[in-house]
Structure 1
Amino acid sequence: MAPVVPRVTPAAPVDERWVATEKLLAAGLVFAVAVRFYLFSALTPGIGLAVVLAPLLLAVLPRFRLAVPLFVLAGVALVGGVGLSVLAPGAYRIDTGNQLYSITFYAGLFLSVAALLWARTKLEPATIAIIFGLGSLISAGFGDGLGSGNPWKFALAVPVAMLLLGVASASRSRIVELVVLIMLAGVSVIFDSRSYMATFLLAGILVVWQLKPRKLSQRGTVARTAILLVAAGAAVYLLGTELLVGGVLGTEAQQRTLSQLDTAGNLILGGRPELGAFLALLAYRPIGFGFGAVLDLAGVNAAKAGMTATGYDAENGYVERFMFGSGIELHSVTGDLWAQTGLPGIALAIMIAVIVIIGIVRHVAHGTASALLLFLACWTGWNLLFSPLISATPTLILILALTLTPQKPPPTSHKSSDSDGVSLQK
Structure 2
Amino acid sequence: MSKDIVVIGAGFAGVTAARDLSELGYRVTILEARDRIGGRTHRRKFSDTDADIEVGGGWFAGPIQRHAHREVVRYGLNYKADPPLTTFSHLLGGKRSEAAIPIEADDYLAFERASFHVLNAAQHLNPEIPIDQQPLKSFDVTWEEFLGQVELTPTIVDLFNTHAIDGCGPTHENGSALTVLWNTALFGNSIVNWTTLTDQQLEGGTNALIEAILGGATNVELHLETTVMSVQHDETRAKVTTVDGRVFEADGVVVALPVNVWKTVEFDPPLGHDKIAGAALRPGVHGAKSWALVKNVPAGFFGYGNYKVTNGVSMLIDEGEVDGYRLMMAFSPAGISEENPDGFDPLDIASVQAAIEAFVPGAEVVKVDGHDWNADPYSDGSWSAFKVGELDYLGGMRKPEGRLTFAGSDICRGWISWIDGAIESGTYAAAELDRIVSQA
TM-score, scaled relative to structure 2:
0.26
TM-score, scaled relative to structure 1:
0.27
Larger helix fraction of residues? 1
Larger strand fraction of residues? 2
